[in-house]
Structure 1
Amino acid sequence: MTQTPSQPLRVVQFSTGHVGEHSLRHIIESPHLELVGLHASNPTKIGRDAAELCGLDAPTGVVATDDRDALVALGADCVLYTAQGETRPREVLEDLTAFLAAGTNVVSTALIWLIHPAHGEAWLREPLEAACREGGATMLVTGIDPGFSGDVLPLAAMRLSQRVDKVTVQEIFDYATYDDAEFTGVTFGFGQHADAEPPVLFWPGVLASTWGGLVHGLADALGVEVEELRESHDTWVTPERIDCAMMTVEPGHVAAIRFGVEGLVGGEPVIVMEHVNRLTEAAAPDWPYPPAGHPGVHRVLVEGRPGIEVNVHLEPGGDTNLGGIVATAATAVNAVPAVCAAAPGLIGQQDLPLAQAQGLMRGPMRG
């Protein structure tokens, strides 16, 4: 069990974008964390107080800088690294190894290929492992999907099982309200013409490199060996114009995608990671939908004895995509005390205690 630190842990927030804005606010409001540094890459944010950049009124006295070395020199207990990293992994490696080698622990939502680090590729894993050894520091990569829905949720569900025949993890989401055409839209191929070249996500090996670690992680927990990772993907083209926050999709262009990674054991797919993502509920009407009344679901289906279905809805009745962003920030911030208490090295969620809720209940209810 991770003990509550006697003094607040000193934390640097690295980025103030979609996720960073919410993790920044979480750090400031947490009684167990102290914000000591803030990185921003947008010139309009440099020199502005952290509170202003996350919608809080009371100044913190911590202002944004783009000087990474100055932040490393603070000697913080942990850096929350929420900058987008999958399109610039070499730059992210430079940032993270600098902090780790200096003895600052890292919790990152970037480099999602390392959510289950034992199966990460050597060119990513080895420099970070060396930096962890040099600084005696610890690093965790986390998120929602890939992340929580593919490790914490199925492992919790399988605690109820006598026998497991197959595990399926699904994200079924309407991304229409997610205003991120430049990254998510491009990566998933939303808005592309039906005859366009597939987006990078569907290049051979990319799905397996992104979700395959989670497949292997569940296989390790189950004590079985995955013989092969099998990728699949499909697209749905809209016959009518679709207007939404993500983008405008013209007729004949992609408005929904479906993809998956299957882990084969004995020639059969027994561990499956699957996505169904659409722009508005009108898209891909023949594909799976979330339960009635919900725009999205993270779901775990366990076939075995007994059969188990776990559905998680973020921000029910509200903006599910915003809920996903806030939850991504939360799963990172909530892990900070446990990561700081863990042994040095690259770790995954399986190396941490299940309970990561320190300081979440605030105000009169705390008594």
Structure 2
Amino acid sequence: MEWSTGTVGRHAIAGIDAHPELELVGVWVSDPAKVGKDAGRLAGLDRDLGVLATDDADALLALAPDAIVHTAMTDDRVMEAIDDLTRFVKAGVDVVSSGPVILQFPYGVLPQELITPIEEAAVAGGASLHVNGIDPGFANDVLPLSMTSLSQSIDEVRCMEIADYSTYYQPVVMTQLFGFGQPMDFQAVLAAPGVLSLGWGSVVRQVAAGLGLTLDEPLVERVERVPADRDYSTVSVEIAEGTLAAMRFEIAGQVNGVDRVVLEHYTRTHPDQCPQWPRPDHGDGCYRIEVRGEPEMTVEFSHHGRDGDHNVSGMIVTAMRLVNSVPAVVAAKPGIVTALDMPLVTGRGLVTE
């Protein structure tokens, strides 16, 4: 079952349809205009799949699906989304979800009194919950931890996103979370102390857990905000000269005051901005992993859709990391399942003749 048909959900529907081990049995939508529409049309497949979208959550859960692929927007409704996911697993339905990202690895990020009800509901329902995607997700959990298996000694693990967000369509994220297009004194959500550690602290803590590190508390946040040198236009927001146009931030996990695990983002809204910042070796966006130690290692992971847009393919890889994880999550023991618990997930069955 697919929960939402937005920028990620539509690709998840296409992915479920393409996966030989999965069958789409239901689709939930929040937009009344989508109710009664065929899932194939909502996914842009130009064909019917024989599954009509509904906003009746009770009716969908009554179908007793094996799993839900949950891709609804959660950035602006974290607690409500946690309630939804808790309800699903308590009903005995395994869930893979793109958010809230804080649940990618909630330990040390959320207070235990918020984690326990989710775990207890999952155990009671005999179901598993896995939150993942690309970032937070594969690009900063499986990929860097796999690289560290080649290390003789490690000084620092740094996970970077370097991207142009000009074609990224998420107005709430762009204007309210980042504050792009807003005056420089606007209190954007991500600029508030502690928010970055909530949003991406799970990444830092999971890598640290995978390396057996006990981190200093709290995590260290560093932010650089850059105003527009001229007017810029993006698909989500118009950015006037002098308003926020680019942002760099770090969340560092330290041991004895030394950075050991770092999540770093370089976010531009036009490729010409901030020439002093790192750039992708290929395309307009990438994830770059650096493992500093013996030996020194760097991996750059870039992606783009067949139309060339890395923001579109970003939605696809997020969706497909979830869809392709469904069989493993269904097979997992009940509870919250993190990347540290998952077996190797592949694109089995997706090679077409």
CA–CA separation in structure 2 for the residues paired with 1:340 and 1:41: 26
Matches within 5 A, 1:1-367: 12-121=1-110, 122-194=112-184, 196-228=185-217, 229-291=219-281, 293-315=282-304, 318-362=308-352, 364=353
CA–CA separation in structure 1 for the residues paired with 2:79 and 2:169: 26
Kindly indicate whether the alpha-carbon contact (under 8 Å) linking 1:186 and 1:199 is maintained by their aligned counterparts in 2: yes
Q: CA offsets per residue over residues 28-57 of structure 1, 9 Å max, x none?
A: 121110001100011110011111111224
CA–CA separation in structure 2 for the residues paired with 1:17 and 1:168: 31
Kindly indicate whether the alpha-carbon contact (under 8 Å) linking 1:230 and 1:261 is maintained by their aligned counterparts in 2: yes
CA–CA separation in structure 1 for the residues paired with 2:114 and 2:270: 36
Kindly indicate whether the alpha-carbon contact (under 8 Å) linking 2:103 and 2:131 is maintained by their aligned counterparts in 1: yes
Kindly indicate whether the alpha-carbon contact (under 8 Å) linking 2:324 and 2:345 is maintained by their aligned counterparts in 1: no
CA–CA separation in structure 2 for the residues paired with 1:290 and 1:149: 15
- Cα shift at 1:204: 1.1
Please state whether the residue corresponding to 2:24 is helix, strand or coil.
strand
Relative to the length of structure 2, the TM-score reads: 0.96
Please provide the CA RMSD for this pair: 1.4
Q: CA offsets per residue over residues 324-352 of structure 1, 9 Å max, x none?
A: 11110011101000000001110101111
CA–CA separation in structure 2 for the residues paired with 1:193 and 1:120: 30
CA–CA separation in structure 1 for the residues paired with 2:349 and 2:198: 35
CA–CA separation in structure 2 for the residues paired with 1:124 and 1:82: 21
1:140 counterpart letter in structure 2: H
Identity fraction in percent: 41
Kindly indicate whether the alpha-carbon contact (under 8 Å) linking 1:256 and 1:283 is maintained by their aligned counterparts in 2: yes
Distance 1:127 1:86, change over 3 A: farther
CA–CA separation in structure 2 for the residues paired with 1:304 and 1:161: 8
CA–CA separation in structure 1 for the residues paired with 2:170 and 2:274: 20
CA–CA separation in structure 1 for the residues paired with 2:5 and 2:37: 11
1:147 counterpart letter in structure 2: G
Kindly indicate whether the alpha-carbon contact (under 8 Å) linking 1:72 and 1:98 is maintained by their aligned counterparts in 2: no
2:223 counterpart letter in structure 1: H
CA–CA separation in structure 2 for the residues paired with 1:235 and 1:215: 22
Distance 1:258 1:210, change over 3 A: same
Kindly indicate whether the alpha-carbon contact (under 8 Å) linking 1:13 and 1:24 is maintained by their aligned counterparts in 2: yes
Number of equivalences: 350
Q: CA offsets per residue over residues 342-364 of structure 1, 9 Å max, x none?
A: 011101011111233222213x2
Gaps of 5+ in 2: none
1:118 counterpart letter in structure 2: Y
2:279 counterpart letter in structure 1: Y
Kindly indicate whether the alpha-carbon contact (under 8 Å) linking 2:179 and 2:186 is maintained by their aligned counterparts in 1: no
- Cα shift at 1:168: 0.5
Distance 1:224 1:90, change over 3 A: closer
- Cα shift at 1:120: 4.1
CA–CA separation in structure 2 for the residues paired with 1:286 and 1:193: 23
Relative to the length of structure 1, the TM-score reads: 0.92
Kindly indicate whether the alpha-carbon contact (under 8 Å) linking 2:8 and 2:71 is maintained by their aligned counterparts in 1: yes
Please state whether the residue corresponding to 2:79 is helix, strand or coil.
helix
1:18 counterpart letter in structure 2: T
